[in-house]
């Protein structure tokens, strides 16, 4: 089943074109990895899909579950099941993770026509999902991301992902700044959320993360377009040979 279809997507930031006619189709049950050198447009793609207003879409179509994604506000996208794990999670002083998640889960459930969770049910859900990413109770009581280490921030992203039960998960360089233990915890959290009805787009620089999250499809994004697509072995080839051979082929 087709979950996401991007056709000829063009996007600018400050009048500079970053995405230059990108095409991508993601089906339910699949894990797609998007790799590519710095500045190729990987994080822009993630931001455009999540609805960040600083990017301007100038051409192209994005359909998500048959609906026009670009027409939706960021919050509606989230409620419809799109989740972006941020490369740089934002600190929100004074708002605890628990209260933040209470508000977010409430909105998402309301949108999906699900009944409001009772306090005890919510706490049970929190407990279950915290366990998934080995998050301590102490951390959940703290303000969102405030004073968190790099690893704690990424763990918190995956925790929130688990809480909101998204359909399309986008991980924007979730491996950056992680030591090997944190990487393992984050990856096993992501793997536990894998299902036949959902899909994931994993944006990464390095093959390392793909040892833990095995992709079905690997894409190379370069200069605002997908220039090569292959199976998981493509990631290994990139690790070994770098991107130059692909870029040279294009010339």
Stretch touching another protein by CB under 8 A, among 5-13, 19-27, 48-56, 122-130: 48-56
Q: Interface with another protein includes 78 (CB under 8 A)? A: yes
- In order, the DSSP letters of the chain are -EEEEEEEEEEEETTEEEEEEEEEEEETT-EEEEE--TTSSHHHHHHHHHT-TTEEEEEEEEEETTEEGGGS-HHHHHHTTEEEE-SSPPPEEEEEHHHHHHHHHHHHHHHTTPPPPPHHHHHHHHHHHHHHTT--HHHHHSEETTT--HHHHHHHHHHHHHHH--SEEEEESTTTT--HHHHHHHHHHHHHT--TT-EEEEE-S-GGGGGTS--SEEEEEETTEEEEEE-HHHHHHHHHH-SHHHHHHH-
Applying the rule CB under 8 A, the residues between 116 and 145 that interact with another protein are 143
Q: Interface with another protein includes 79 (CB under 8 A)? A: yes
Q: Interface with another protein includes 246 (CB under 8 A)? A: no
Q: Interface with another protein includes 74 (CB under 8 A)? A: yes
Burial readout 27-40 (b: 16 or more C-beta within 10 A, e: otherwise)? ebebbbbbbbbeeb
Size of the residue set binding another protein (CB under 8 A): 30
Query: Which residue number, 41 or 166, has a Cβ lying nearer to another protein?
Result: 166
Binding mask 86-115 for another protein (x = CB under 8 A): x--xxxxxxx---xx--xx--xx--x----
Applying the rule CB under 8 A, the residues between 163 and 222 that interact with another protein are 164
Query: Which residue number, 75 or 197, has a Cβ lying nearer to another protein?
Result: 75
Query: Which residue number, 20 or 102, has a Cβ lying nearer to another protein?
Result: 102
Stretch touching another protein by CB under 8 A, among 57-65, 75-83, 133-141, 204-212: 75-83
Contacting another protein (CB under 8 A), which of 5, 52, 194, 232? 52
List residues binding another protein (CB under 8 A). 50-53, 73-75, 77-79, 83-84, 86, 89-95, 99-100, 103-104, 107-108, 111, 143, 160, 164
């Amino acid at each position: 089943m087709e979950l996401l279809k991007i056709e000829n997507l063009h996007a600018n930031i400050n009048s500079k074109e970053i995405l230059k006619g990108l095409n991508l189709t993601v089906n339910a049950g699949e894990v797609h990895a998007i790799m590519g050198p710095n500045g190729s447009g990987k994080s822009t793609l993630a931001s455009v899909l999540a609805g960040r207003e600083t990017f301007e879409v100038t051409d192209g179509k994005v359909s998500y579950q048959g609906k026009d994604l670009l027409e939706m506000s960021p919050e509606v996208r989230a409620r419809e099941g799109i989740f972006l794990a941020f490369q740089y999670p934002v600190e929100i002083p004074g708002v605890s993770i628990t209260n933040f998640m209470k508000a977010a889960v409430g909105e998402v459930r309301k949108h999906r026509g699900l009944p409001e969770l009772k306090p005890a049910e919510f706490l049970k859900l929190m407990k279950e999902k915290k366990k998934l990413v080995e998050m301590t109770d102490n951390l959940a009581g703290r303000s969102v991301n405030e004073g968190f280490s790099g690893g704690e921030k990424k763990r918190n992203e995956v925790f929130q992902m688990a809480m909101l039960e998204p359909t399309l998960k986008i991980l924007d360089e979730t491996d950056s700044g992680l030591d090997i233990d944190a990487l393992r915890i984050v990856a096993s959290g992501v793997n536990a959320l894998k299902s036949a009805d959902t899909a994931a787009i994993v944006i990464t620089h390095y093959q390392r993360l793909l040892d833990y999250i095995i992709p079905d499809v690997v894409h190379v994004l370069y200069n605002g377009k997908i220039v090569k697509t292959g199976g998981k072995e493509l990631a290994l080839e990139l690790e070994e040979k770098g991107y130059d051979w692909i870029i040279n082929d294009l010339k």
